[in-house]
Amino acid sequence: MKRWLFVCLIFVSYPLVLLAEKNPFNGFIENKGQWDNSVKFRKKVPHGFLLLQDAGWVYYLSNTFDSSHGHLDGQSSGALQESAAVGLSQAISTTFVGANKHPATSSMEAQSYYHNFFLGAEDHWASRVSEFNEVQYCDLYESIDLKMVSYGGAFKYDMIVSAGGNPGQIAMEWKGCGDVYLLNDNLIVETEFGQMMEQKPFAYQLINEDTVEVPARFSVDGRQVSFEFPDGYDKGKTLIIDPLLIFSTYSGSSTDNWGNTATFDKEGNTYAGGIIFGASTGIFVPSVGAFQEDFKGEFDVVLMKFDSTGSDLLFATYLGGEYAETPISLIVNSKNELVMMGTTSSPDFPTTSNAYQKLFGGGKLIEPLGYEDSLYVEGVDIFVSILNDSGTALIASSFLGGSENDGIIAVRGALTLNYGDQFRGEVNLDENDNIYIASNSSSPDFPMTNQIMSHSGYEDGLLVKMDAQLSAMKWGTFIGGDTTDVLFSVKPDGKGGVFVAGGTMSQALPFEVNGWKRANSGGAEGILLHFNESTSKVDAATFLGTDKSDQAYFVELDGSGDVYVLGQTKGNYYIKGDRYINPGSGQFLQKFNPDLRTTQWSTVFGSGTLPSNISPTAFLVSDCNNIYISGWGGSSINQSSSYNQGNTFGMPLTPDAFQSTTDGGDFYLIVFEPDAADVLYATYFGGNPGRDHVDGGTSRFDKRGVVHHAVCASCKLPNSAAHGIFPTTEGAWSETNNSDNCNLGVFKFDLSTLSASFVTNTPDLQNPDIKEGCAPFEFLFINESVGGETYFWDLGDGATSTNSDTVRHTYQSAGEYTITLTVTNPNTCKNLDVTTRQLVLTQGTYTLSPSATICYGESIQLEATGGTSYYWTPGTRGLSSTDIGSPTASPNATTTYFVEIYNDQNKCTFIDSLTVNVLEEITISSEIEAIYNCSGVSEYNFTGSVQGTDLAYWDFGDGSQSSDLIGVHQYATEGTFTTRLIAPNELCVEEVAEVIKVGELMVPNAFSPNGDGVNDRFEIQYIQPMPVTIVDRTGKVVYQNNEYTNQWDGDNLPTGIYYYDVVLPDFTTCNGWVHLLR
């Protein structure tokens, strides 16, 4: 397994405050009212914002964006374009067509910090606003979730299609952009600033604990994008679609910028150097506080430092004077300072007060690449400079040069086989940070201290040793014969000497060539030699070559001091030993004893054809003697004029190659086993179409086999306005070339690291990095190891696995478990790596009150125990609280309540439910009406109405009942009775009661008002007063009272018969006679 760490296109045109910013606040920030309600979360992306909405997102991009402004003053997304009226801006939306308009969202992996927003109107203030690494949309479509994950300045999204879900529903509509189309299966979206790109989608399913890739591709219809699965997939299992979205950074302007050299530091950061052209082609503003913030010349050096992931730019600065500069080689010293060697044509190139040479030596006008872009109008000197680790100060800087040209190969011919060879050379360090320079010089008066050999030919190789402060030259020497000689590579041996490699046209050299090949076969040959510092002599030297042109570009040493050399040949190069070989190829690799007299083996590799396939750019022999090589070839730049005409077709590859195809002009990376016994890994790297190349200079492998590489990338294609394509990774600092020609590209490629790593999750992939569970509990272990060939899992409970990708395992009992993953690869220096993780499984108990039935309108207390926190749902169905153990429930309909019980002590979570069954509401009404009689007890009409039960009945209060809700009841006696209409069901009773007075009308037929206190008045017995009228025989009314209460005593009327009318409450009139006796 090989890992591509990062690839980053550097666009020097961005507003540099942003370009230099290293901002940790780069996740999804929740909206707590500080922005428009349509915004759910906001994420900063370079030169703008990403606004997450209900069914999609909006990119807001502007070349006037100031990343220090964390507030949009409550603007809605619809107002975004107007907010950047000054400068170029654009709002681009991506909407999921036909999706749930208001899906539930959840956020995960909260950061430890929070944000406060106190800008604008007070109603848009918000405090303690959280930031998250992940946001998930639940059921964006039916059975389809969307997961958004932040990666520095970028983000990726996964579509998680549950079993039974239909990915054909997914459709994303782009608005506010230009054309949307596919290029090499990648999705391209044209914008005002350049292109945005989503890489070809990657889809997979977990089947039998293995990650199984599902072929997937984009489908584009106008501006609507969907997914296709040409081979289908298992619809009974979850499908995850992972398009790996790349977000590009933009500004409204840019400048042409080329790539030359790269190196690394002990923290894994990458430094890149290139040249940058003037403001007429664009704008580049270095980072705040940079050593040099102004462009000064025809073209200046530009230096950039990236973090170990390529997602953040740590500094960017110019370095140069009024004319031209080119960086050739970079290295970082023990103080983490950047040491660089290059060439300059500027008398005002910055030097320091302690510099060995403060004045420009000069020379003649030179166009080393043969066209005006590379013009050095004042001649050329070497410069050596040291920059501090933040790019803000020049620690030391010095010219190195005489009155002729130095540092650039003046002759374009046999010693410049490849485009850019004119700018080859190397700076290297010993254990004391002393500085070694391998280059070339045309100046016989080159200023040397302790000069050892004199200038001999038109152009000589140059080898010098400077102190760590560039204040003194320890020694210096020319290396050359009577024609042209150059040095490309220098390697201190740690024993008081240095090995150097280069090329020569000379037949004779001013020292004994006493090594393996002692004579030049004719023309250009490679040269490899050892310079002994203690004797100031070349004590070992050998030619390298055939009767054709040959060059030696790099020299390396292994732990035993044996010497390795890498070069190109146009002939039939010498082969020795049973080594990996591609006969007839144009790249040679050779190993010597330290005295250079004996070659242990020699081989060639490549396509099996001439000329050479690649121009070598970096070389390493690792601590375990694996051999690492990088180079580029086939670019139309190299195929012009007298340069090498080869290409990268037909190069040897391994099955696990990162890129297995080429357009003939790509980078090529290869790793050999010790002593080149076989190929461990080989891959192409580049775009199609592309013009990927290097404009001279060296890049470097670190000792672990990670190459840090500079590229002149994405240049304009010949006879076209289009640019070449250079591949980038998600989250890289920049991914789009917005200049009118090339941009400095940087890639970091791990070719042989062995690292054991895995992460934990649950099988539904919803709980990343989970470390605790409540037994029994099933974990998913996901292998993220790099470089392994075999894998052994010890799951801590006696179970094991050798799966290479994922392992699912259920722990049945509580306890602490140590999971150990052992990764092996005998082809790496490490051979074996081990990593462990601790899991804690607990067991807990809980109780939950049983389901219950209640009457409508009643409440019930629910009871959960066993937790330290509780969460009840649904909270809208009559719960007094959702976060206590014993809430009161007052539902108005049958409801199932779910409770999540979490115990912080044992880390157990239980989810259970109970149902509160609410009986049907009983409604009841009644009406009682009396039927009055002039004789006997009154009857009553009873009318009842009941809903919600069939068990209702009347209780008349006299001991009798009836289930007939409508009827007549005759009371047997008069009296006061409580009547009730009763409506029961299986649990509840509703009733309505009414008190009635039942009476019998009794009227006397005689009374004797004689004052004896007995029967003196006309006394009518009834339950209430009533109207009474009395008349004599003639019909004359003698007495009348509307509320008669037995007051009439005859009123001195004579004895006789009188007649009465008594009016009952229902206006029934009862009449009769009464005899008044005196």
How many angstroms separate the first and last alpha carbons of the chain? 135
| Confidence bin at 22 (pLDDT 50/70/90) | very low
CATH number of 847-918: 2.60.40.10
Name the more confident of 731 and 774. 774
CA–CA gap between residue 751 and residue 682 (Å, rounded): 9
Backbone phi and psi for residue 41, each to the nearest 5 degrees, phi listed first: -145, 155
- β-pair type (706-713, 800-801): unpaired
Name the more confident of 685 and 591. 591
User: Which two structure tokens, joined as six digits, stand for 209?
Assistant: 């604990």
Identity of residue 467: D
Please enumerate in sequence order all residues whose Cβ is within 8 A of that of 224, keeping only pairs 6 or more positions apart, or say none. 97, 171, 172, 173, 174
> Is-same-fold flag (758-842; 1006-1076)?
yes
- Segment 202-206 shows an average pLDDT of 77
Judge contact between 496 and 478, C-beta under 8 A: no
CA–CA gap between residue 528 and residue 524 (Å, rounded): 13
- β-pair type (426-429, 435-441): antiparallel
Cβ neighbour number for residue 142 with a 10 Å cutoff? 12
| Confidence bin at 72 (pLDDT 50/70/90) | very low
CA–CA gap between residue 581 and residue 924 (Å, rounded): 101
Please enumerate in sequence order all residues whose Cβ is within 8 A of that of 782, keeping only pairs 6 or more positions apart, or say none. 758, 759, 760, 761, 805, 806
Q: Which of 196-205, 365-374, 935-944, 969-978 shows the lowest mean pLDDT across its residues?
A: 365-374
Which residue shows structure tokens 């909006």?
A: 58
Average pLDDT for the chain: 85
CA–CA gap between residue 827 and residue 753 (Å, rounded): 10
Nearest to 278 by CA among 243, 324, 232, 247: 324
pLDDT at 285: 60
User: Which two structure tokens, joined as six digits, stand for 741?
Assistant: 């020609």
Share of the chain above pLDDT 90, in %: 50
CA–CA gap between residue 590 and residue 306 (Å, rounded): 34
Residue ranges with strand state E in 570-635:
587-592, 599-605, 615-621, 627-632
Nearest to 55 by CA among 98, 95, 93: 95
Judge contact between 517 and 544, C-beta under 8 A: yes
194: left (phi over 0), alpha (psi -120 to 50) or beta: left
Q: What 3 state SS string does 983-1018 have? A: EECCCCEEEEEEEEEECECECCCEECCCCCCCCCCC
Q: What 3 state SS string does 200-233 have? A: CCEEEEEECCEEEEECCEEEEECCEEEEECCCCC
Q: Taking 60 as the threshold, does the pLDDT of residue 688 lie above it? A: yes
CA–CA gap between residue 793 and residue 790 (Å, rounded): 10
**CA-angle at 378, arms to 258 and 400, nearest 5°:** 80
pLDDT at 782: 95
Backbone phi and psi for residue 736, each to the nearest 5 degrees, phi listed first: -135, 135
- Segment 832-847 shows an average pLDDT of 90
Name the more confident of 506 and 211. 506
User: What tens digit of pLDDT does each residue of 946-987 get?
Assistant: 999 999 999 999 999 999 999 999 888 888 999 999 999 989
pLDDT at 354: 95
Cβ neighbour number for residue 738 with a 10 Å cutoff? 25
Q: Which of 339-343, 780-784, 815-819, 1023-1027 shows the lowest mean pLDDT across its residues?
A: 1023-1027
pLDDT at 637: 63
User: What is the maximum span of the chain, computed from C-alpha positions, in angstroms?
Assistant: 179
| Confidence bin at 837 (pLDDT 50/70/90) | very high
Q: Taking 70 as the threshold, does the pLDDT of residue 468 lie above it? A: yes
Nearest to 479 by CA among 546, 445, 530: 530
DSSP bridge partners of 708: 700, 748
H helix or E strand, kind and range, residue 778: strand 777-783
pLDDT at 119: 62
pLDDT at 912: 92
Share of the chain above pLDDT 70, in %: 88
Dihedral sign of CA atoms 366, 370, 372, 373 in order:
negative
Give whole-number Cα distances, 78 to 33, 57, 82, 213, 874, in Å.
Answer: 17, 12, 9, 39, 35
pLDDT at 210: 64
What residue spans define the domains of the chain? 20-246, 271-408, 418-441+455-612, 758-842, 847-918, 923-998, 1006-1076
**Fold of the 1006-1076 domain:** Immunoglobulin-like (2.60.40)
Q: Which of 234-243, 638-647, 759-768 shows the lowest mean pLDDT across its residues?
A: 234-243
User: Which two structure tokens, joined as six digits, stand for 862?
Assistant: 């629910």
Q: Which of 412-426, 610-624, 868-882, 947-961 shows the lowest mean pLDDT across its residues?
A: 412-426
Identity of residue 495: K
> Which one of 2.40.128.630, 3.40.50.150, 3.40.30.10, 1.10.150.170 gives the CATH number of domain 418-441+455-612?
2.40.128.630
Give whole-number Cα distances, 121 to 115, 117, 125, 126, in Å.
Answer: 17, 11, 7, 11
| Confidence bin at 7 (pLDDT 50/70/90) | very low
- Segment 142-146 shows an average pLDDT of 89
Q: What 3 state SS string does 872-941 have? A: EECCCCCECCCCCCCCEECCCCCEEEEEEEEECCCCEEEEEEEEEEECCCCEEEEEEEEECCCCCECEEE
Cβ neighbour number for residue 16 with a 10 Å cutoff? 21
> Which one of 2.60.40.420, 2.60.40.640, 3.20.20.70, 2.60.40.10 gives the CATH number of domain 923-998?
2.60.40.10
Q: Which of 47-56, 722-731, 1029-1038 shows the lowest mean pLDDT across its residues?
A: 722-731
- Segment 780-807 shows an average pLDDT of 92
- Segment 875-895 shows an average pLDDT of 92
CA–CA gap between residue 714 and residue 686 (Å, rounded): 10
| Confidence bin at 275 (pLDDT 50/70/90) | confident
pLDDT at 19: 29
> Which one of 3.30.310.50, 2.60.40.10, 2.60.120.620, 1.10.3720.10 gives the CATH number of domain 758-842?
2.60.40.10
pLDDT at 406: 95
User: Which two structure tokens, joined as six digits, stand for 623?
Assistant: 């601590």
DSSP bridge partners of 683: 669
Judge contact between 135 and 150, C-beta under 8 A: no
Name the more confident of 581 and 238. 581
pLDDT at 284: 63
pLDDT at 249: 23
Cβ neighbour number for residue 861 with a 10 Å cutoff? 11
pLDDT at 380: 95
Cis peptide before 655 (omega within 30 of 0): no
| Confidence bin at 735 (pLDDT 50/70/90) | low
- Segment 492-506 shows an average pLDDT of 95
- Segment 55-76 shows an average pLDDT of 52
User: What tens digit of pLDDT does each residue of 284-340 get?
Assistant: 667 788 898 888 878 889 898 988 877 788 898 889 999 999 999 999 999 999 999
- Segment 1010-1027 shows an average pLDDT of 89
User: What tens digit of pLDDT does each residue of 887-904 get?
Assistant: 999 999 999 999 999 888
Name the more confident of 256 and 959. 959
CA–CA gap between residue 531 and residue 495 (Å, rounded): 11
CA–CA gap between residue 169 and residue 142 (Å, rounded): 9
pLDDT at 723: 67
Residue ranges with strand state E in 333-434:
338-344, 381-387, 394-400, 426-429
| Confidence bin at 248 (pLDDT 50/70/90) | very low
User: Which two structure tokens, joined as six digits, stand for 533?
Assistant: 């510092």
Q: Which of 98-102, 183-187, 624-628, 657-661 shows the lowest mean pLDDT across its residues?
A: 183-187
Identity of residue 459: E
Which residue shows structure tokens 């890994």?
A: 681
Dihedral sign of CA atoms 633, 637, 641, 642 in order:
negative
Q: Which of 152-166, 296-310, 459-473, 953-967 shows the lowest mean pLDDT across its residues?
A: 152-166
Q: Taking 90 as the threshold, does the pLDDT of residue 819 lie above it? A: yes
